[in-house]
Structure 1
Amino acid sequence: MVYLFFCVSGALGPLNLNFSVPRRQGAIANMRRLEPDVSLLTETLRDYPGAVIVVGNAWPFHYSLDSLRQAFSTLGRRVTNFVSTLADRQEEAILDFMKGRTEPCVVVASKDAEFSKLTDARRVDVDMQLGFNESAQSALLRHLRAIGEPAIRELAFDDMLRATVSGHALRRASRMLSLVHARDDVEFQRRLRSILGDG
């Protein structure tokens, strides 16, 4: 599985806000329509069933995941999650989402979004005026080809489930699972039997 963070400035379908991504104070909102971007993104991902979309725009403050899926109608169930972003923490929100996740990710972002060198190696920069065009498509394809098998493997139910939970919930689940897996720990089992008075 590959997480693809969509952080492209503009409005999509009913998501007609006066802003679309967190941006520097005083920056002018870019309300370019994103339907062509999403159409080209859909075409780009056709051979990469392992790629899921996580929305990194400000839309989730106003819309549910179902609303986002409707707006990204051609991508449908690929839209698995979103990150709640504020003007000064878009990159931080993405990195926090990825904590505890071992899957690769790519960030597709407009140049007005505030990203640092932390995401340089996995970012596709999108021109604010041209949008997700052939140049951005080529850059994304290079990332997906380099990622290889996780990008082309069909997603299992467990993959989709993991993609839809928040980073915080995933980290809690991982801690709980480590306790469940303690049954494989011989020393833990010996101490447990001792406590229970069973040898």
Structure 2
Amino acid sequence: MYKKKLIFLLFVLLGIFLLSGCYDRATINTYSDPSFSKNTITRLAIFPMKNVNLTAGESRAINRGIAKGIHQINPNIEIMSTVEIIQILNKQGLTSEWSAFLEDYASTGVPNTETLFKIGDVLGVDGLMQGEIVNVYQENSHYGVNQKAPSVKLGVARVTVRYSTFGTDSGKLLWEATSDGINKTGITFSDDPSLIEAVMLAQQKIIENLPF
């Protein structure tokens, strides 16, 4: 009996190995202010993504990805680099004010117009975009035998990514998108689920729905 169960387990493992990494998907929800149009923003500042538990290289890839996506849709938009944004905010002593703005917006859902006007004026842009990872769940795959029966569980990495775009002339939230990225893998022979792949899946879904 045990031999039959062991053979069954081996077949299960083989099947999952062959299907390994094939379960990737992303969902999305968006909001757009009625006053927002394609030509509302001509110069955009994209801030570094917030709450990122990734390597420096992965974070740069995320920032480059959203900037590239915007340029592909509308090459006329001038995008301010994250390095330049950080340098100017540090020089003007506005880094903590932007952090306070984000915390306040996260809790109230209402942007502080005074901060938007001030930072927009300092950076010389008419739009501010902030990306954030708002939720992360990761569990590695595992297998075994429970009460002489095979036990198999796929690994999963699930993230929720949100991008918010604020107008520095209107002081409004112009556009916002929230996307869940899910990366599942098989077991034993495959790598554990990748967090960065889940983030990229969510971001790609957002890029496909950019309003620019």
Please identify which structure carries the higher helix content: 1
TM range (shorter): 0.3 to 0.5
Larger relative contact order (CA 8 Å, sep ≥ 6) = 2
* TM-score normalised per structure 1: 0.35
Please identify which structure carries the higher strand content: 2
* TM-score normalised per structure 2: 0.33
